[in-house]
Amino acid sequence: MYQKAMRLYRLALGPVLLLLSSIGSSAWAQGPTEWRHPNQVNMPVGVTEVSAQIHSIHMTVFWICVAIGVAVFSTMFYSILVHRKSRGYKPSHFHESTKLEIAWTIVPFIILIVMAVPATSTIIAIYDTEDADLDILVTGYQWKWKYEYIDPAGENISFFSSMSTTPEEIAGTAPKGENYLIEVDEPVVIPVNKKVRFLLTANDVIHAWWVPEFGIKKDAIPGFINEAWARPLKTGFYRGQCAELCGRDHGFMPVVVSVVEQEEYDSWLTAKKEEAAQIKELMAKHFTLPELVQQGQQIYNRVCVACHGPNGEGGIGNALAKSAIVTGALDETLDTVVHGVPGTAMQAFGGQLNDVELAAVTTYIRNSFGNNMGDMTQPVDVFNFKKGQ
Amino acid sequence: MAEQTTPGHEPYYVPERSKLAIMAALGLFLSVFGAATFINSNSGKFSDAGGGGWLLTIGIAVFIAVLFSWFRTTIIENRAGMNSAQVRRSYVLGMQWFIFSEVMFFAVFFGSLYYVRVHVGPWLSGAGEKGVTTLLWSGFNFEWPLMQTPQEAVGGVANQMMANNGVFTGPERNLAFPGFKEMFAWLPLWNTVILLSSSFTVHVAHHALKADQRKKFTTWLLITVALGFIFVALQAVEYYEAYHHYGLKLSSGIYGTTFFMLTGFHGVHVIIGATMLLVQLLRTFKGHFTAEDHFGFEAASWYWHFVDVVWVGLFLFVYIL
Amino acid sequence: MDAHAHHGPAKGLTRWLFTTNHKDIGTMYMWFSFAMFILGGAFAMIIRAELFQPGLQMVNPEFFNQMLTLHGLVMVFGAIMPAFVGLANYMIPMMIGAPDMALPRMNNWSFWILPFAFAMLVSTLFMEGGSPNFGWTFYAPLSTTYAPPSVTFFIFSIHIMGMSSIMGAINIIATVINMRAPGMTYMKMPMFVWTWLITAFLLVAVMPVLAGAVTMMLMDIHFGTSFFSAAGGGDPVLFQHVFWFFGHPEVYIVILPAFGVVSQIIPTFARKPLFGYDSMVYATASIAFLSFLVWAHHMFTVGMPIAGELFFMYATLLIAVPTGVKVFNWVTTMFRGSMTFETPMLFCIGFIILFTIGGFTGVMLAIAPADFQYHDSYFVVAHFHYVMVAGAVFSMTAAIYYWLPKWTGKMYDETLGKTQFWIAFIGFNLAFFPQHFLGLAGMPRRIPDYALQFTNFNMLSSIGAFIYGGAQVLLGFNVIRTIVAGKPVNDPKVWDGAQGLEWTLPTPAPYHTFTTPPEVK
Ligand code: HEA
Ligand code: HEA
Ligand code: CUA
Ligand SMILES: [Cu+2]
């Protein structure tokens, strides 16, 4: 019986160790960009120095724990197999040993110090946000990210980055793409080999900005700014997700960072700035009612529909059809859309949409769902409204 | 079967079945369900079903009735001699640990005050390790008492870089220590004097009771209760002043928030404590308590001392520093 | 006048409604907790079913968040805590030679608050806007500005749950301090009593803190205060500090009684006294003490100043030391014993292995820089199910099997028990071990849908969860079968290696015990 049990025990130990070592080794086997693949079992080594350090601490602590586990469990299994009543083993009655107890207090303590040393130096490195080459203000919104490139010359550019996976893919009526749920309409672009500082904040609730391959996870807290930084050493797309429960679509708020060569970054930036200039031009333009309504509908269906329903019938938000505010004075509607309603889910869209978009959506809601105001809001009206406040 | 006890052991009184507990649970449930319904439909935040007010009233009535009958029962049991010394020790322990839990409750609010004053305020105004935050609140200067909220500093709701979650307007005047010249027109000082002396008077009453001087006992207890209610009245005056003349409200940013929450919860505890003492006073009129056995009074007086100590903390951290 | 002490229980429903008897109250607590466990488990099954494959199949994200929140709340406050309070009620008087709990009427009150509190909590599912959807940690401002109307009901149900816990804890403290039989010195108390004494202390210390946290929420939502809003000079992170000052000790509230149970059962089946009793007591006390100093390890990513980051990392690591002492003591108790492996013992061994694994991942989480990768990923979910399910639930299951014969006078079906253990053990590991991989590979927690590369492990995990759920059905069946048709046991001792006062009583234990205190040598 005993012999058989011991043999079983040894037999079992083999696969367990094998499994453990496969967890350990798989990380080294993969290059960083292939990290996101099915059946991945370990943390990425990543593409920054910090992420590699984190990975190495992780592995060290992991193996220490495995070693302690093996020691503790093999002692236990030895007793289980040998010191059993069915083998006629008579119990001894010792129940104290000061030496032993001191030993197993001190040894773990020392082991913990061994763990704490590299952890301390890594965290000091992570907190060193000085001397960045580029600052990006990242703002979490329900449920998208806004990136604002802080330009020393004051010409900041900014854009929103939302998930681009379609509702059909999620519902299963369309095949799911390769980057299902971790793809965005517009990734944040940064140059390789540069220290990029991220200033994180949020507009509504707490979000967390997580890019595993950078070793960054930091909360974005409304009203506060947190700092994080990365110096990616390799180009490529790096994907992550919002890591703090932030409401309904918390699971649909990916982060995608595109790390590119400096030249590519520069031309991207120039293009962005031109785009911004174009929008500025549009601001001065006078639109026709159908133009505004048509554009407004698109914005409505992208931004507002979640709360106000496809036909303005309401939901989380009030009904817009026949609403006193929407069918009242124009200023009142604008006020609601631009500044939101204090203390409710109705956000201030003044900072989220540009003046063209605000004008369009305002015009749209005043001329749809049975609302028949017939009036128009031009971008310049929005501009003046904002200034007048 | 009382004969079976070992020598020197009094049997521990285990009460018979009782309706009290479940009725108390019911009363509590009705109260909080009613309160939640009521608050939801009246705070202007969520429009919701009515009827909460009624439920709340019924709940509180049930709860108070049960408490009354519960204490009555225990008092009758005690006076009937059913409580051995050991049973009494259980009550003593119960009261002591209850007070400890209250201490922890207040600790939360003191801790929050510490956190916002020592950490958050400076961060918002650009000092300390999270000073970058000032980018969001440029122009905000941290001072305590906080007279201008970060929201006001950036020019109101429309200009803040986060979604609107309320309007917070700083007070025009605060209730901090006004300096030695105006000290005597400063209510908190009087309140402190009143509450401290009430702790002293209740102590005198206790000694009188132990010495079996009933007359002295009732007099000093009466004074204590009176002081307690005077304190509450003055506190009410202070709140009225704050709301109507100082512009100091719950919504005056974190100063108003911490001020009212700390003094408010303390005030509630003063009312509870004074009521407890009042009940003990009424009991003395009915001839309860002896020089040896007066736990009801003792418990109430411990509670009173606790409330007093909390006030000292308040006076120091909310008003003076 | 004490004549009624020998009466049996009253008849009918009012026996339970009006009772002051610690065994009745303990029984009610345990049945209530089992009901809540099934309810919380049902919520978990919905979560796991939705996560069986990528895409949204069963529930919408809004409802998913509600399930998640209720699962966490119901399991922690409704299943685990009442289970151990019930066990304490039943066993502590029997273990220390007391006639009942110190404050019997209040005892009944503490219990009866709970069904009301949970009825109120679960009723939010049927309210406009749905039930709380902000996770069991209810971080502001998601739980304040952005909360559904039912949040007010949630707040008040937490308030009364807290009152129940505080009263229950005070009762236990008074009982242990005041009601020990002559000769039962502190250092002779059974470990279960010790762990509960310390747990009760933790409860009295931190439940008011939770009450404070929800009170602040209530004020921020309805009365214009700005605790958690920077616009008024507050800070959303303040909420987290307050919550975790409660929340971390809370996890030890969940596990310390479990330690106690294991420390009772292992010596019985090893037929050898508990190794290092004294150090067990000191270790438990140190864990409780340290638990007040580590709360912000749940907040490494909120952007604390670096000094805070380091302090909380070091303090957290320290907890491994006293916990290690306990693990080593249990193993050494088994060492050179004369072991048998009845169901309670199997669950205890399962506990030691799986809890230790959960503890190891805890230590990994405590390493602040590494936590930047682990935090809010499935790695954390795996960690806490290892300590809470394989820790608390396994040990509670062991306790049920261990004392069931004493409670009912009947023996459970050993084969069924062992079968349940193996199904539970395998199901559990299948459900939660792959979650470590998921977390490390980058899957956030609290999401209703996931990227494609997480598919396989999620499927495994769901299958494991269903198997594990099945094992709970067996547990319920085995207990009920025992009560209805178990083989009678008459031996007071039940287990030949058992030690302690409860085993000197007849089996089943009479309705009133120790009206005369026994003498403890
Ligand atoms: C029963 C409950 C329980 C218990 C006992 C523990 C025990 C521990 N927990 Fe856990 N924890 C939770 C329940 C619990 N936890 C929950 C519910 C959460 C998530 C909450 C949420 O966000 O929803 C959480 C989250 C959590 C975090 C935050 C993770 C994050 O969100 O990023 C951290 C970080 O430090 C942590 C650490 C620890 C540590 C160090 C222990 C230690 O006590 C473990 C000690 C034990 C051992 C180490 C094993 C035995 C020891 C030895 C054999 C000695 C030798 C060992 C060494 C030298 C390493 N836990
Ligand atoms: C002690 C507490 C406790 C217990 C016992 C459990 C038990 C279980 N938990 Fe959980 N869990 C938490 C505490 C607990 N949990 C907490 C605090 C959270 C965090 C919440 C948050 O993020 O806010 C969480 C979160 C959580 C998640 C993460 C969700 C997410 O982040 O998106 C998951 C996912 O797998 C999960 C699964 C399970 C499973 C499968 C069980 C199983 O062990 C349950 C087994 C029990 C049963 C199944 C019931 C009995 C049987 C029946 C009713 C018969 C029917 C059975 C079948 C249909 C098979 N739990
Ligand atoms: Cu944003 Cu989660
Ligand atoms: Cu913790």
- Angstrom distance (rounded) from CA A194 to CA B46: 49
Query: In the structure encoding, which two tokens stand for residue C417, read together?
Result: 């028990």
The distance of C57 to chain A (nearest Cα, Å) reads 7
* C374-404 tens-digit pLDDT: 999 999 999 999 999 999 999 999 999 999 9
Higher per-residue pLDDT: C236 or A37: C236
Do A94 and A229 reside in the same domain of the chain? no
Residue C6 is predicted with a pLDDT of: 53
Which domain covers residue B43, as residue numbers?
1-83
Does the beta carbon of A187 sit less than 6 angstroms from any atom of ligand 3?
no
Mean pLDDT, residues B232-249 taken together: 93
Q: Which atom of ligand 3 is nearest to the CA of C446?
A: 2
Cβ distance B164 to A342 less than 8 Å, yes or no, reads yes
| Chain C CB within 8 Å of residue B161 CB | no
CB nearest to C178's CB, from B33, B86, B149: B86
Residue A343 is predicted with a pLDDT of: 62
- Angstrom distance (rounded) from CA C196 to CA C84: 9
Q: Are B150 and B252 in contact (CB under 8 A)?
A: no
Could you tell me how far CA C22 lies from the centroid of its own chain? 20
- On whether residue B79 sits in a domain, the answer given is yes
Q: Are B245 and B86 in contact (CB under 8 A)?
A: no
* C35-56 tens-digit pLDDT: 999 999 999 999 999 999 999 9
Do A228 and A151 reside in the same domain of the chain? yes
Burial state string for A107-132 with b = 16 or more CB within 10 A and e = fewer than 16: ebeebbeebbebbbebbeebbebeeb
Cβ distance C18 to B22 less than 8 Å, yes or no, reads yes
- Angstrom distance (rounded) from CA C14 to CA C86: 19
User: Helices marked H in C367-511 — which ranges?
Assistant: 368-374, 378-387, 394-408, 414-440, 455-485
Mean pLDDT, residues C313-327 taken together: 97
C110 is catalytic: no
* Rounded (5°) CA angle C244-A229-A256: 90
Proximal ligand: closest to the CA of A250: 3
- On whether residue B17 sits in a domain, the answer given is yes
Cβ distance C146 to A73 less than 8 Å, yes or no, reads no
CA nearest neighbour of B265 among B103, B55, B115: B103
Mean pLDDT, residues C287-311 taken together: 96
Residue C50 is predicted with a pLDDT of: 97
Higher per-residue pLDDT: C226 or A31: C226
Do A120 and A30 reside in the same domain of the chain? yes
Do A144 and A90 reside in the same domain of the chain? no
- Indicate the top mutation candidate among C292, C365, C436 to test ligand 1's pocket, ranked by most ligand atoms within 8 A of CB: C365
**Confidence band (pLDDT; 50, 70, 90) for C303?**
very high
Mean pLDDT, residues B101-122 taken together: 96
Domain boundary among A242, A257, A281: A281
The two beta strands, A144-150 and A157-161, are antiparallel
Residue A27 is predicted with a pLDDT of: 44
CA nearest neighbour of C245 among C279, C209, C275: C209
Do A68 and A170 reside in the same domain of the chain? no
Chain B positions in Cβ-Cβ contact with residue C144 (cut-off 8 Å): 165
Question: Which CATH number characterizes residue A216's domain?
Answer: 2.60.40.420
- Angstrom distance (rounded) from CA C12 to CA C24: 13
| Chain C CB within 8 Å of residue B93 CB | yes
What amino acid is encoded at B19 in this protein? K
- Angstrom distance (rounded) from CA B254 to CA B231: 25
* Rounded (5°) CA angle C356-C360-C364: 165
CA distances in angstroms from B50 to A19, A237, B29, C3, C378, listed in the order given: 61, 55, 17, 51, 42
Residue B7 is predicted with a pLDDT of: 47
The residue of B130, B134, B162 whose CB has the most chain A CBs within 10 angstroms, and thus the best one to mutate to test that interface, is B162
Task: Report how far ligand 4's centroid is from the alpha carbon of C298 (Å).
Answer: 6
- Angstrom distance (rounded) from CA A93 to CA A90: 10
- On whether residue B64 sits in a domain, the answer given is yes
- What is the domain count for chain A? 3
Q: Over 50: is that where the pLDDT of B165 sits?
A: yes
Residue B43 is predicted with a pLDDT of: 78
Do A227 and A179 reside in the same domain of the chain? yes
- Angstrom distance (rounded) from CA C263 to CA C344: 12
- Angstrom distance (rounded) from CA C515 to CA C25: 18
Residue A5 is predicted with a pLDDT of: 53
* C405-442 tens-digit pLDDT: 999 999 999 999 999 999 999 999 999 999 999 999 99
Residue C390 is predicted with a pLDDT of: 94
The two beta strands, A144-150 and A134-141, are antiparallel
Residues C57, C61, C64, C66, Cα dihedral to 10°: -150
**In 3-state terms, what secondary structure has residue C14?**
helix
Q: Which of C22, C23, C48, C248 is catalytic?
A: C248
**In 3-state terms, what secondary structure has residue B274?**
helix
Residue A95 is predicted with a pLDDT of: 86
Q: Reduce the secondary structure of C94-122 to three states and give it as a string.
A: HHHCCCCCCCHHHHHHHHHHHHHHHHHHH
The distance of C112 to chain B (nearest Cα, Å) reads 6
- List the domains of chain C with CATH numbers: 22-504 (1.20.210.10)
Query: In the structure encoding, which two tokens stand for residue A49, read together?
Result: 């120095």
- On whether residue B9 sits in a domain, the answer given is yes
Task: Report how far ligand 4's centroid is from the alpha carbon of A16 (Å).
Answer: 29
Tens of each residue's pLDDT in chain A, 389 residues: 455 555 555 555 555 555 555 554 444 444 445 788 888 999 999 999 999 999 999 999 999 999 999 999 999 999 999 999 988 888 888 888 999 999 999 999 999 999 999 999 999 999 999 899 999 999 999 899 999 999 888 888 989 999 999 888 999 999 999 999 999 999 999 999 999 999 999 999 999 999 999 999 999 999 999 999 999 999 999 999 999 999 999 999 999 999 999 999 999 999 998 888 888 788 778 888 888 899 999 899 888 887 888 888 887 788 898 888 998 888 889 989 988 886 677 888 887 888 888 999 999 999 988 888 888 888 888 888 877 75
- Interface ipTM: 0.92
CB nearest to C109's CB, from B21, B107, B256: B21
Question: Which CATH number characterizes residue A372's domain?
Answer: 1.10.760.10
- Angstrom distance (rounded) from CA C518 to CA C180: 10
Q: Over 70: is that where the pLDDT of C518 sits?
A: yes
C511 is catalytic: no
Q: Are C407 and C508 in contact (CB under 8 A)?
A: yes
Mean pLDDT, residues C280-305 taken together: 96
Cβ distance A224 to C363 less than 8 Å, yes or no, reads no
What percent of chain C has pLDDT above 90?
A: 92
Mean pLDDT, residues C141-161 taken together: 94
- Angstrom distance (rounded) from CA B169 to CA B156: 9
Which neighbouring-strand residues pair with C377?
A: C444
Q: Which of C250, C309, C342, C371 is catalytic?
A: C250
Cis amide prior to C422 (ω within 30 degrees): no
- On whether residue B301 sits in a domain, the answer given is no
Residue C402 is predicted with a pLDDT of: 97
- What is the domain count for chain B? 1
Residue A12 is predicted with a pLDDT of: 56
Higher per-residue pLDDT: C139 or B4: C139
Q: Are C196 and C172 in contact (CB under 8 A)?
A: yes
Q: Are B92 and B301 in contact (CB under 8 A)?
A: no
Cβ distance B150 to A223 less than 8 Å, yes or no, reads yes
Which domain covers residue A319, as residue numbers?
285-386
Residue A28 is predicted with a pLDDT of: 42
For chain B positions 24-63, those within 8 Å of chain C (CB to CB) are 24-26, 28-29, 32-33, 35-36, 39-40, 43, 45-46, 48
**In 3-state terms, what secondary structure has residue A147?**
strand
Q: Are A149 and A172 in contact (CB under 8 A)?
A: no
Lowest mean pLDDT among A281-295, C143-157, C203-217, C317-331: A281-295
